[in-house]
Structure formats: structure tokens, C-alpha cells
Amino acid sequence: MDNLNITYETVWENTKEMLRHSVPDQAYSTWFEPINPIALTDSELILEVPNQFFFEWIESHYTALIERTLWKNLQSEIKVKYTVSPESGQVGLDIAGAPLTPKPKPPQEPPQLNSRYTFSAFIEGANNQFARAAATSVAETPGQPNFNPLVIYGGVGLGKTHLLHAIGNHIAHLRPELKIICATSEKFTLDFISSIQKNNTVEFSRKYRSVDVLLIDDVQFFQNKEQTQEQFFHTFNELYQSGKQIVLTADRYPGEMSGLQDRLLSRFQSGLAVDIQPPDFEVRVAILMAKAEENGLDLPYDIVEFMATHIKNNVRELESTIIRILAHSSLTNREIDMAMVKQAVKDRLGKQFISELTIEDIIGRVSEATNLTEEVLISASRKKPLVEARQVAIYLCREIIGTPLVELGLHFGGRDHTTILHACRTIEKRKKKEPRIKQLVTKLQQELTFPLT
């Protein structure tokens, strides 16, 4: 191939320019702008994509188009291979299968920070307030003894990595002279192993022990790696003793982690540990609105509410549902509407999502189970057993169908949406405390979602 003077960057730039004219604008900015070229051989172009979902999408929808465009551009047959960006937190997914030609390293190794993950892009809610406040404080004044180490823990997709990088980005911006390393625990492990293989563990130690701020993501992956833990222990101590800031994330409270040496765990607990909980409904709505705006989408409130009702545990899921809807709309050239969103949510949740039921079905079933008529269930009466049954019915409608609050209010005798929200919360709370309520709700929910035929 006669491209000795052409770099992979120019090849990709030219190809991208041609692609721009072959797909709708929105598809172009969603799928092609975020791609980084990594390497070019005479038969392959390696492209780096932001995450696993992106990879699956582009691979199945656009590979042929990219390869055709490359052919037009270079007059030679080049296959496209993908690799997921290490910043996606999905390192080690060597998607292309083949060993990749690494991108030449810039002289000063950058701190591996994802610039998208900032404090301002992080939506605050009761579920993450404390973690965010602690992270901000550390970012502003790294090395305060009470906040060292800072451990941020919680379930998947709740924003731990986001906060970790936000700390790094903030410090890098305010104090460019400070040396920051941000790495996953796997990266730390791999670096260590490769230093053993290359016989330069000294260099490894120097690299990690010379930083001012050490940010390590997902320390639970250190479990059962004795030698790496040993290394990390020494790195930790050295940094800690000289007042350098250490921030760690983990999938659970350090005291509950298994497969980690006790002395390491006790170090992890010597500073401040803050948790992030799953976002509640209002926070999910706020996150969805922010993500929609970020993607240039103007989603009507009932759609946002519908998504926030169904996708519950995980911010990452909320985000990828938005991307899916966006992709779907741009590929089919259709406006985003409720039907499309329902489909996307259904794809995501599979069997859990039952859309065929109606509010009337649920009211009917609750009426049977409680021996109260459907009329009184939706009436204005405030008699105790009635209120309870009504609240259960409302709760089930939200849980199973995800009916918007306002609409539910209309179905239940013209109540306003705060009353509906109050009903859902009451049942949510009572379910936790009262076995009788829990049993009733679970039983009804199961009957309704898996009807006996």
C-alpha cells in the first residue's frame, strides 16, 4: 500500500470526512466523532471506541460502511478492528482479539483521566451527597489527614469512577504541578507484573511512589493477589506517610471485603469511607434530564418519568438507554416518542417489563384480593383499610406499568401527583417494616406479572 507518508490520524480524518456525508448528522456526531484512531497496518485500522455498548453498536451497524469508505479513500482493502477505551472502566476487553499496535506514548504519561467526568457533570442527590462532598473537599485540599485515604464505595454504575476522575480532573486543573496517577487496580496489577517480567520493579515503585495524588479504582480486584497487595501496601504507606492523597473506590465497605490482607483493609479504614447508594426517583429524573441535554435531546417529561420509573438501580443503565433511544431515532429517522422509549426500556429489561397490563387490571386484582370494590378503591374515602388497599394499588401501578404520577392521579379519583408519590413511598417503607404488607404486595405483584393461565 502506498501510504508510507500517511499517518493513521490522517487516514481516519479523511475517512471520517467522507462518512460525514453518508450518514445523518446526528448519527455522525453520535457514532463517529467519539472514535479515536489507534493504529494502521497495511491490512487493518484499529479504532478506539468509548465503551462496550458503543462497540457493539458500531460493529454491527457501521463496520461495512467504514470499510467501504476506507476502500474508496485508500484503494486498498483495510479491515476495521475495535478496542474499547481504557477510560471506559472496561479494560482488558480485548475486543479485536488481535494484539494491538500501541499508540506511540506522549513523552509525559498523562494521568489517564476521563475529562467528561467532572464535578459539574455529576448530579447530586441524597444518595451521593456525602460522597460528593468528601470528593470535592479532597479535590480542593488534597492530603488532609481526616480524608486520607478517601474510600468511595457502592454498587456498579453508581458514579464511583466518575467521582474518582472528577477529583483527578479538578486537581489537575487547580494544581497542574502535582503529579497524579489514576489507574484501575487491574492496571496497577498489570504494571506490576510486567515490571517483574522486565526486571524493573524499581522503576515500577518509583513511578507509583513519586506521585502526589494516587487514584485507584475498584480495589476489590486486588483480592487474592498476594504479591500485588504487598506492593500496594508499601506504595500506600510511603505515600501516606508523606501526606500524599490517596483515593480508592470499591464495590463494598472495606471492612466487608474478602481476599484482602487485614493490614491493607485496616489502612483502607484509617481515613474516610463514604458510600453511594442507588439514586431515588427524583435523582433519576434529574440525571436523565441532564444526560438528555448533554446529548442534545429534548425529552418530554412523561418520557423521562417513564424511564426513571423503570430503570432503577443504576446510572449507567439510564445513560445507555438514552444513547439507545438516540441511536434508534437517528437511524430510523423518527422523532422520539413514548412507543420508541417503551420499546427501548423493554429491550433493556426483558421479561421484567410487562406492558400489557392496564391500570384497570391492577385495580381489579387488588379489589379481589382485599374484598373492596373497585369504586371505593378510587373513591375519596379515607377509611384506614381502604387507604391501604388504594396505596397498594397505586404502588403496583407504578412498579409494574410505570404509569406517570399525574396520569395515576387521574385514575385514582383526581388526586394530585404528590399524593400518588406519597402513596408509593408509604408502601415502599411499610414493605420494609411490615411482613404482612410485604407479603401482600409481593404476592399481588407476582400474580400480576406471571398470570396463571
Taking CB within 5 to 8 Å according to partner kind, which of ligand ADP, Mg ion, none is near residue 111? none
Cα dihedral 427, 431, 434, 435 in deg (nearest 10): 140
Q: Minimum distance between the CB of residue 355 and ligand ADP, rounded to whole angstroms? A: 26
Which residue, 74 or 158, is less far from Mg ion as judged by CB?
Answer: 158
Give residues with Cβ within 8 angstroms of 302, minimum separation 6. 338, 404, 407
Which residue, 316 or 398, is less far from ligand ADP as judged by CB?
Answer: 316
Q: Which residue in the shown chain puts its C-beta closest to Mg ion?
A: 161
Taking CB within 5 to 8 Å according to partner kind, which of Mg ion, ligand ADP, none is near residue 267? none
Which residue, 151 or 400, is less far from ligand ADP as judged by CB?
Answer: 151
Q: What's the sign of the alpha-carbon dihedral 303, 305, 309, 312?
A: positive
Q: Minimum distance between the CB of residue 184 and Mg ion, rounded to whole angstroms? A: 8
Name the grid cell of 400: 409494574
Which residue, 159 or 402, is less far from ligand ADP as judged by CB?
Answer: 159
Amino acid (one-letter) located at 321:
T
Q: Quickly list DSSP for 85-109.
A: -GGGT-TT--TT-SPPPPPPPPSSP
Q: What's the sign of the alpha-carbon dihedral 273, 278, 282, 285?
A: positive
Binding site for Mg ion (CB under 5 A): 89, 160-161
Question: Rounded to whole angstroms, what are the CA distances from 371 to 160, 364, 377, 389?
Answer: 48, 10, 10, 10
Please, what's the largest Cα pairwise distance for the chain?
84
Q: In terms of DSSP bridges, do strands 150-154 and 272-276 run parallel, antiparallel, or are they unpaired? A: parallel
Which residue, 80 or 167, is less far from ligand ADP as judged by CB?
Answer: 167
Taking CB within 5 to 8 Å according to partner kind, which of ligand ADP, Mg ion, none is near residue 157? ligand ADP
Taking CB within 5 to 8 Å according to partner kind, which of ligand ADP, Mg ion, none is near residue 284? none
Name the grid cell of 395: 404502588
Which residue, 223 or 379, is less far from ligand ADP as judged by CB?
Answer: 223
| Rounded distance between C-alpha atoms, residue 56 and residue 323, angstroms | 13
Q: Minimum distance between the CB of residue 398 and ligand ADP, rounded to whole angstroms? A: 22
Q: Minimum distance between the CB of residue 218 and Mg ion, rounded to whole angstroms? A: 6
Q: Minimum distance between the CB of residue 156 and ligand ADP, rounded to whole angstroms? A: 4
Q: Minimum distance between the CB of residue 160 and Mg ion, rounded to whole angstroms? A: 5
Binding site for ligand ADP (CB under 6 A): 89, 117, 121-123, 128, 156-162, 287, 315-316, 319
Q: Which residue in the shown chain puts its C-beta closest to ligand ADP?
A: 159
